[in-house]
Structure 1
Amino acid sequence: MTDRIPPPQSVLERLRARPDEDIRQARLDPDAFWLSQAATYEWTRMPTTGLTWNRPEMAWFEDGETNITLNALDRHAQGETRTRAALIWVSEDEQVQIYTYGTLHDRVSRAAAGLRALGVQSGDRVVIYMPLTPEGVIAMLACARIGAVHSVVYAGLGVTALRERIQDAGARVVITADVGYRRGKLVDLYAIAAEAISDLVGVNDLVLWERIKTLHREHDSRTVPWEDLFTHGKVEAVPVAAEHPLFVLYTSGSTGKPKGVIHTHAGYMVGTSYHLKSLFDVHPGDVFFCTSDIGWIVGHSYIVYGPLVSGATVMFREGAPDFPDTGVLWRLIEKYGVNVLFTAPTALRLFMKLGAEVVKPYDLSSLRVIACAGEALNPEAWRWAQEHIGGGLGEGAHAMVIDNWWQTELGAPTLGTHASWPARPGYAGPLLAGVDADVVDERGEPVPNGQQGYLVIRRPFPSMMRGVHGNPEKYAAIWNENPAGYLSGDLALRDEHGYISILGRADDVLSVAGHRIGSADVEDALVSHPAVAEAAVIGVPDPLKGESILAHVILRRGFGDQVGRGLRASLTEHVRRELGPIATPGEIRVVDTLPKTRSGKIMRRVLRAQALGQDPGDLSTLEG
């Protein structure tokens, strides 16, 4: 099989977007290109300026004024689009709720009035700790409507992780639910949220959506029923400056403390919705199925804001992709005529492991694009998905599997392979419209094709983050550490056609099933267990998750004779409680020492080399 695989004519004929001319225009004049995109949206004051940049500080459309909900709701809640489905939500047991644009507009306007009645003002921070349900989406949009800044925390994270994010954001209101569902079991979200705020005097209200009315228990005195938000009438969208913050979303960094990435109303709106149309080929009236969660950037960009701004119908589902049975995703695609699927490599590898017979019974011909991001999409998974979900590579194919790469910090796809371009499995793709990126060395000099280097972005584009909440030094370092520009933290290489392959993290951030987890976060959780004196964790290849966590621990005196299943189980459950299930180590090794530099820094690359049977390289700085 050749390295580059052209799309079949049968797929080309079904595509609506062809971004080649956009790429050419954006290279000639990026400001003019992005202003032309911005002009297609609703503004209370139309912008006339593109990028204002004094590295690292940037602004897009700085003289403009809008509110993202004017474009996500108001303009679609009029005329014939009012009755178009905005959200199709499916519960774990396949109960369905459909919200039209008119209904969603009404619910959001009322929820926003309720938040205002609680005293939430423009610029205030609200933490949302909700399951993947329409109520979580409504909470996000309600905050945006009054100019409040939401911070969604993934409902799989534990007490400590939630408390840290509430504190760092300075949230005065937290919104949660009584329970979430995971593989048929209840997850007590309210208990986690109540414990997280128990000693936080800055939190005034804990808004509670009760799904199970018979689940009676004592409530925190700050608890406000979700239904109370809808008793205060409606509010109109509050016009805000283009650079007004929309949300803070926390992502793991290599230093241990989660960093709060700041995105803004206008630039994020323009960037995310542009790529939904141009790369993912999603247009008004299409059914777009995203399998992510609102706790992650993909859920923000491509469950909530991108599809709604674009007037599409977005489908999302609470629950694992193979529960209650392995056919649930494919059954939904067939039933609702899904046109574009956005999923993770982990999900594709899961179904590849289960076998083609899982997919075979279903008619997936409505699909024309299967987009995949979150971690590296390996060539084997790409080929399997193209064959069994996309219909193969012959003229009977109905869809193409497309890879793409981006980050929480970038908001929207940055590299990607459009379905009309040749695919190169294992490569995310070339630069997308408006992106100026490169693969460079430590001095910022471009490396030759085929050689590993650091992936950097030379010039900002609209959906990029505007800062790190409460930590301007961290934000500046991301832009200034490498002379070439924004340092993504990923190692990459480029081929002769400009396609870029992502090789993995250059820092100590793990990528488990598409979720970025700081190694220091897991190490801190392990060391907080009474049996552990010191810990070091690394990521090792996993055929399903991409990476799994391998932990090395040194035990405290007196615990050495307790090594066994009980101790390992105790450590595993401790990490699960502190950080949530996604941070659970796949393996825990008890060791006597850890490799360190003479200054005391743990050399995780040595542990990684040992685990993979590789040469650890230069050990001249290793502690004697």
Structure 2
Amino acid sequence: MTYVWHPGDEYLRNSNVARLMRRLGAATGDELRRASVADIGSFWDAVVDDLALPFLTPYREVVDLSRGVEWPDWFVGGALNAADACLRRWVGQIPDAVAVTHEAEDGTTRSLTFAQLDDEVARLRGALRARGVTKGDAVALYLPMGIEAVVTLYAVASLGAMLVPLFSGFAASAIAARVGDARAKVMVCADATVRRGRVVQMLPVAREAAAECPSLELVIVVGNVEESVALKGSEVAWETVLSERPDPDIERTAASDVLLLAYTSGTTGKPKGAVHTHAGFVVKTACEVAYGFDVAPGRTFSWITDMGWIMGPLSILGTHANGGTLMLYEGSPDVPDARRLWSLVERHRISTLGVSPTLIRTLRSPDNTGVDYDLSSVRTIGSTGEPWDPESYEWLARDVFRERVPVINFSGGTEVGGSFLCPYPVEDIAACSLGGPALGMDVDVVDANGAGVRGEIGELVCRQPWPAMTRGIWNDPDRYHEAYWSTFPGLWRHGDHALVDDGGWFILGRSDDVMNVAGKRVAPAEIESVVAEDPAVREAAVVGIPDPTKGEGIWVFYVAGSGDDEARVEARIRERVATRVGKPFAPSHVVQVSELPKTRSAKILRRAIRAAVVGTDPGDLSGAENPAAVETIRARVRELR
């Protein structure tokens, strides 16, 4: 029987989203969704008021669409600075509450209260201001998930400068492309980080990138691993800048001033810099974390992520906008063993635990259900970035958390600044479901003509704007319009295929991942979930490859979870897919590989796998955790031929 979460009185009466429902007169989650898009101006105004988000100058209008749906102006006439709204206000209310805690892979921990965090931010702000960083300048952040990343974000925001967060695993060329496009003036980087007990050097990579970026005037180096770092040229130590006099003055930024440039990789061409603003990003992330994840003062939010993904900034600003404690983990969450995650929950009293399906598949075993740990602090589990398989979802919900905690599986993107789809703790949530449209998001699934469809695969679109919708692609408005608005005039097309049926809303993968087999469309996730049931399969990826008979044939790539014979595994998978999905979808090839190419956030790079098979350019792999896996697959395919 498929698992379904049913909310109890605690969520129905005392959650943040239940409070919002009472305010807006909604009896159910779906009623609240409808109310949130019936009048988007009224809804987002209610969110600002309900969460007491402080504008330095009140806005006179919530949204102005006079330039068209593609170019909305939010919180017109208002002034809000993210550092004031998410940090400074709590210094006056709960100064001694813990704002951020960091734990390294070796178990070392450090915490700062809101007052202490504000002091470090003021010191970095003063150092940057003294070195000529002013409103509108770009500052790149190349750091692991540590307290220095939080300090840097707020210091940059408080100056009215633009943050450019970078993936901590980027190569020099990827850093240089983004820093160069943003014309960043300063970079804050770490000497190194530690992952799976191995020191991963970062400063040499940053130096190589800096040599290609004439706009960079200063590099601030955090001694994250080494006790002493030999500096060169324009480099200055983090300890030096934090020893300088604090600057108390926060810039009075307009609601529409740029807060950060969040770069997302495309399949071709240079990375896209999504433009996010102070008010828009803060309001949307505060909404996500309050109503989806039920964070409030005294509760702790932790997500296994990286500053280079939108979940990094979202975690910081969304948590602190609600007065919560942010718990950051640096390293691999299964070191020294698969129980590390439960240990983190127990020791830090985590309320919201953000994971990926891939991580849970790695941890899943009958003897790792967390029974030896106190997991009672957890109120919500979060996940994003990839589809779930039912077995892993239900193991987490049933075996680990005993059906008492909802899984808030949400989906959005870098350009969205949060989610398009999100379930809420006050409603029934079926296993693997995304619930429905996120609050304030007028989301639909449409056919090729832009008409809404149900019960069949279509394109995910949004019919109205939202506060954190990117204000364009940095320095490239034409590319912004082409990417999101050119397919369906007046509708944002996100590039995901989705399905709405009686079981809920489901993301089925990127539009170019969906396969057309003998005239029938099927999403990789549908077949991957069947393949994952085989006991010999640890994880799998499915791609469509040109086929002279079917149009596209299905290729399965899997990483073995046992030493079972490859021929037997292939036969079982073919039979299982034919039986469960249909004979036309039986795989043409089933290929065992040592690893699948992924991003650091555990998304499988199917386009790169497809390129390895057909012999084409895999596109931008700068965000890949293991780009060498593509060549390994290419070699394996050559063996088959």
Partner Cα separation in structure 2 for residue 539 and residue 297 of structure 1: 30
- Among 36, 42, 46, the alignment partner of 2:58 is 46
Determine the structure 1 residue equivalent to 2:437.
431
TM-score by length of 1: 0.81
Mapped pair 1:251 → 2:264:
yes
Determine the structure 2 residue equivalent to 1:23.
33
Determine the structure 2 residue equivalent to 1:161.
174
Is the contact between residue 7 and residue 426 of structure 2 (CA under 8 Å) also seen in structure 1? Answer: yes
Partner Cα separation in structure 1 for residue 463 and residue 151 of structure 2: 36
Is the contact between residue 383 and residue 408 of structure 2 (CA under 8 Å) also seen in structure 1? Answer: yes
1:36 to partner: Cα distance? 2.4
Partner Cα separation in structure 2 for residue 62 and residue 88 of structure 1: 36
Partner Cα separation in structure 1 for residue 306 and residue 637 of structure 2: 40
Partner Cα separation in structure 2 for residue 362 and residue 288 of structure 1: 18
Q: Which moved more, 1:28-37 or 1:579-588?
A: 579-588
Determine the structure 2 residue equivalent to 1:372.
383
Mapped pair 1:472 → 2:477:
yes
1:280 to partner: Cα distance? 0.8
Determine the structure 2 residue equivalent to 1:124.
137
Mapped pair 1:387 → 2:398:
yes
Mapped pair 1:305 → 2:317:
yes
TM-score by length of 2: 0.79
Determine the structure 1 residue equivalent to 2:331.
319
1:359 to partner: Cα distance? 2.2
Q: Which residue identity lines up with residue 427 of structure 1 in the other structure? A: S
Determine the structure 2 residue equivalent to 1:563.
none
Partner Cα separation in structure 1 for residue 499 and residue 613 of structure 2: 34
1:154 to partner: Cα distance? 0.9
Task: Write out per-residue CA displacement over residues 321-344 of structure 1, whole angstroms, 9 at most, x where no aligned residue.
Answer: 101222222112112222221222
> Following superposition of structure 1 onto structure 2, how do residues 85-164 of structure 1 map, counting pairs within 5 Å?
85-164=98-177
Mapped pair 1:422 → 2:425:
no
- Among 174, 193, 196, the alignment partner of 1:183 is 196
Secondary structure of the corresponding residue to residue 83 of structure 1: coil
Secondary structure of the corresponding residue to residue 84 of structure 2: helix
1:380 to partner: Cα distance? 1.9
Is the contact between residue 434 and residue 461 of structure 1 (CA under 8 Å) also seen in structure 2? Answer: yes
Is the contact between residue 193 and residue 225 of structure 2 (CA under 8 Å) also seen in structure 1? Answer: no
Is the contact between residue 113 and residue 234 of structure 1 (CA under 8 Å) also seen in structure 2? Answer: yes
Determine the structure 2 residue equivalent to 1:453.
458
1:290 to partner: Cα distance? 1.7
> Following superposition of structure 1 onto structure 2, how do residues 456-535 of structure 1 map, counting pairs within 5 Å?
456-477=461-482, 478-483=484-489, 485-496=491-502, 499-507=504-512
Q: Which residue identity lines up with residue 403 of structure 1 in the other structure? A: N
1:553 to partner: Cα distance? 7.4
Is the contact between residue 386 and residue 401 of structure 1 (CA under 8 Å) also seen in structure 2? Answer: yes
Task: Write out per-residue CA displacement over residues 348-370 of structure 1, whole angstroms, 9 at most, x where no aligned residue.
Answer: 22112x44435232121221211
Determine the structure 1 residue equivalent to 2:86.
72
Secondary structure of the corresponding residue to residue 365 of structure 1: coil
Partner Cα separation in structure 1 for residue 212 and residue 413 of structure 2: 33
Task: Write out per-residue CA displacement over residues 365-405 of structure 1, whole angstroms, 9 at most, x where no aligned residue.
Answer: 2212111112112222211110123213xxxx3x1222111
Partner Cα separation in structure 2 for residue 292 and residue 454 of structure 1: 27
Shift of the 200–288 alpha-carbon distance from structure 1 to 2, 3 Å rule, reads: closer
Partner Cα separation in structure 1 for residue 232 and residue 490 of structure 2: 51
1:5 to partner: Cα distance? 4.8
Determine the structure 2 residue equivalent to 1:221.
233
Q: Which residue identity lines up with residue 547 of structure 1 in the other structure? A: I
Partner Cα separation in structure 2 for residue 592 and residue 370 of structure 1: 38
Shift of the 546–383 alpha-carbon distance from structure 1 to 2, 3 Å rule, reads: farther
Determine the structure 2 residue equivalent to 1:6.
6
Is the contact between residue 126 and residue 175 of structure 1 (CA under 8 Å) also seen in structure 2? Answer: yes
Task: Write out per-residue CA displacement over residues 21-68 of structure 1, whole angstroms, 9 at most, x where no aligned residue.
Answer: 343532332201212222422122101211222131112102101111
Determine the structure 1 residue equivalent to 2:362.
350
> Following superposition of structure 1 onto structure 2, how do residues 220-239 of structure 1 map, counting pairs within 5 Å?
220-230=232-242, 231-239=244-252
**What RMSD over aligned residues (CA atoms) do the two structures have, in Å?**
3.1
Partner Cα separation in structure 2 for residue 289 and residue 263 of structure 1: 23
The count of residues paired between Structure 1 and Structure 2 equals 544
1:184 to partner: Cα distance? 1.2
Please, which runs of 5 or more residues in structure 1 have no aligned partner?
Answer: 514-537, 557-570, 594-609, 612-624
Partner Cα separation in structure 1 for residue 438 and residue 225 of structure 2: 46
Please, which runs of 5 or more residues in structure 2 have no aligned partner?
Answer: 27-31, 515-522, 526-554, 561-595, 597-601
Partner Cα separation in structure 2 for residue 356 and residue 406 of structure 1: 34
